[in-house]
Amino acid sequence: MKIYNTMSKKKEELVPLKEGQISMYVCGPTVYNLIHIGNARPMIVFDTFRRYLEYKGLKVNYVSNFTDVDDKIIKKAIEENTTAEEISKRYIEECKKDMDAMNVKPATKHPLATEEISGMIDMIKTLIDKGYAYASDGTVYFKTREFKDYGKLSKKNIDDLEAGHRDIKVAGEESKEDPLDFVLWKPKKEGEPAWVSPWGEGRPGWHIECSVMSKKYLGDMIDIHAGGEDLVFPHHENEIAQSEAANGVDFAKYWMHNAFLNINNKKMSKSDGNFFTVRDISEKYDLQVLRFFMLSAHYRSPLNFSAELMDSAKNGLERILTAAEKLRDIKNSGAEGELTADEASNVEKTKEFVEKFEKAMDDDCNTANAISAIFELVKFTNSVTNEDSTKKFADELYNVLETLSDVLGIILEKKDEVVGDEDYILEMIEKRAQAKKDKDFALADSIRDELLAKGIVLKDTREGTKWSRA
């Protein structure tokens, strides 16, 4: 399998550090709000990549953090007159709900920055001891020029960076020795969360968090480090400098970055009203559609979000789900007995689509082509099955379709739109009561039948209408 490595700017064969295992770190969101659909892109594409590695039999140790201490979180806490902890806890919960609805598997570990402060203090101490960092007035800075390979990921030349930085003076950072140096530890400001450290009370810089959490849960050297392309510089460049200076070994063997998601061909921006949270989208679509939409493009290509493209993703997904439904029906009511000779040969033919799917995924996780292979399989299963097919045949075809769909995180069972949503059921009961009052019995009956079709049984009692699941 080949993956594109941002470090070498080439597709490289993926050779795990330890045979049969992959260690992977994906930079997670800063939790100060509901996640937006841009944040969902790395979650979905790297979850899919992980699923494919697992499909290939690799054991994946997948770590993705939540950045739960940050200026934006503190700002939000002040606005809401609450604590930063309350804000981050709330949005971690909400983020996990969205991840679940997008069928993103929980990571092996989701570390929280605030629970890893002692590790961060240790790494900063090591960097100071090794001459890569210095403390000044309660702030600790990384000496960027001391790390000779600085710029190797983003291919930036340190002297060009220096020229760009010369005039920039940031308030509170007057004690910096070199404008290129970046913060590892910052001193406490009134009302902000802070931890005790050898340099006084304060909190860590953003970059050190990922270096430390990756080291703790995956080791000094890992297979894959991933995130959105905006993180290449400075975040990942700084992570490399910190980790390699402290640990003395290469940090990650492969660097993977997803391209950005735009809305209606414009950069996502809250202030321009060009912005959707995942939750906004869930009001209009099943989030499987969002997942399918994200995978319809290669992860390194920019992706444009629009209502038309979402509707086309919805139709594409529907084609797969309808084929699956047909196969399920035959599994239930098809002919008994063994596969016919024709059926056996058609089962054999599905291998061609599986190979196409794998070839696409082996080529730098090309989910767009993998989806095409699934469409071909769907067309094939539709053409070779009918009411005379055996149950066994439908079962074999279903298993192939289900296995490939599962790699993409697509669940084949159609979700019955709103069953399970109590508010919806109560609303329907009320509508039915009104219809009865209006003597519109046809409408009242049709509401009862509609609910029944969704497995909800109504019973009229003296205390009103009660409902239960069939």
CA distance 85 to 272: 29
Binding at 42: pick from ligand AMP, Zn ion, none (beta carbon under 5-8 Å per type): ligand AMP
Binding at 361: pick from Zn ion, ligand AMP, none (beta carbon under 5-8 Å per type): none
Which of the ranges 173-181, 203-211, 241-249, 417-425 carries the binding residues for Zn ion, by CB under 5 A?
203-211
- The site for ligand AMP, by CB under 6 A, has a size of 15
Per CB under 5 A, the list member of 208, 210, 303, 401 interacting with Zn ion is 210
CA distance 248 to 258: 28
Residue 268 makes contact with ligand AMP by CB under 6 A? yes
Binding at 193: pick from Zn ion, ligand AMP, none (beta carbon under 5-8 Å per type): none
Residue 294 makes contact with Zn ion by CB under 5 A? no
C-alpha radius of gyration, the chain, whole number: 27
Q: Name which of 263 and 330 has its Cβ closer to ligand AMP.
A: 263
Which of the ranges 245-253, 256-264, 330-338, 460-468 carries the binding residues for ligand AMP, by CB under 6 A?
256-264
Residue 208 makes contact with Zn ion by CB under 5 A? no
Residue 27 makes contact with Zn ion by CB under 5 A? yes
Binding at 38: pick from ligand AMP, Zn ion, none (beta carbon under 5-8 Å per type): ligand AMP
Largest Cα–Cα distance of the chain, in whole Å? 85
Residue 48 makes contact with ligand AMP by CB under 6 A? no
The token pair that represents 43 in the structure block:
């979650």
Per CB under 6 A, the list member of 111, 204, 205, 227 interacting with ligand AMP is 227
Per CB under 6 A, the list member of 5, 6, 33, 39 interacting with ligand AMP is 39
CA distance 38 to 298: 15
Residue 42 Cβ, how far from ligand AMP at the closest point, in Å?
4
> How far is residue 456 CA from its own chain's centroid?
34
Residue 38 makes contact with ligand AMP by CB under 6 A? yes
Q: Name which of 305 and 393 has its Cβ closer to ligand AMP.
A: 305
Binding at 210: pick from ligand AMP, Zn ion, none (beta carbon under 5-8 Å per type): Zn ion
Which of the ranges 187-195, 222-230, 408-416, 438-446 carries the binding residues for ligand AMP, by CB under 6 A?
222-230
Q: Name which of 145 and 235 has its Cβ closer to ligand AMP.
A: 235
Residue 250 Cβ, how far from Zn ion at the closest point, in Å?
17
Q: Are 125 and 225 in contact (CB under 8 A)?
A: no
Q: Name which of 230 and 427 has its Cβ closer to Zn ion.
A: 230
Binding at 260: pick from ligand AMP, Zn ion, none (beta carbon under 5-8 Å per type): ligand AMP
Residue 261 makes contact with ligand AMP by CB under 6 A? yes
Q: Are 181 and 161 in contact (CB under 8 A)?
A: no
Per CB under 6 A, the list member of 5, 23, 30, 242 interacting with ligand AMP is 30
Q: Which of residues 403-442 bind ligand AMP (CB under 6 A)?
A: none
Binding at 228: pick from ligand AMP, Zn ion, none (beta carbon under 5-8 Å per type): ligand AMP
End-to-end, the C-alpha distance of the chain in Å comes to 48
CA distance 34 to 39: 10
Residue 238 makes contact with ligand AMP by CB under 6 A? no
Per CB under 6 A, the list member of 6, 24, 42, 128 interacting with ligand AMP is 42
Residue 260 makes contact with ligand AMP by CB under 6 A? yes
Nearest to 242 by CA among 114, 116, 130: 130
CA distance 204 to 185: 4
Residues of the shown chain interacting with ligand AMP in the complex, contacts defined by CB under 6 A: 27, 29-30, 38-39, 41-42, 227-228, 230-231, 258, 260-261, 268
Q: Where on the chain is the footprint of Zn ion (CB under 5 A)?
A: 27, 210
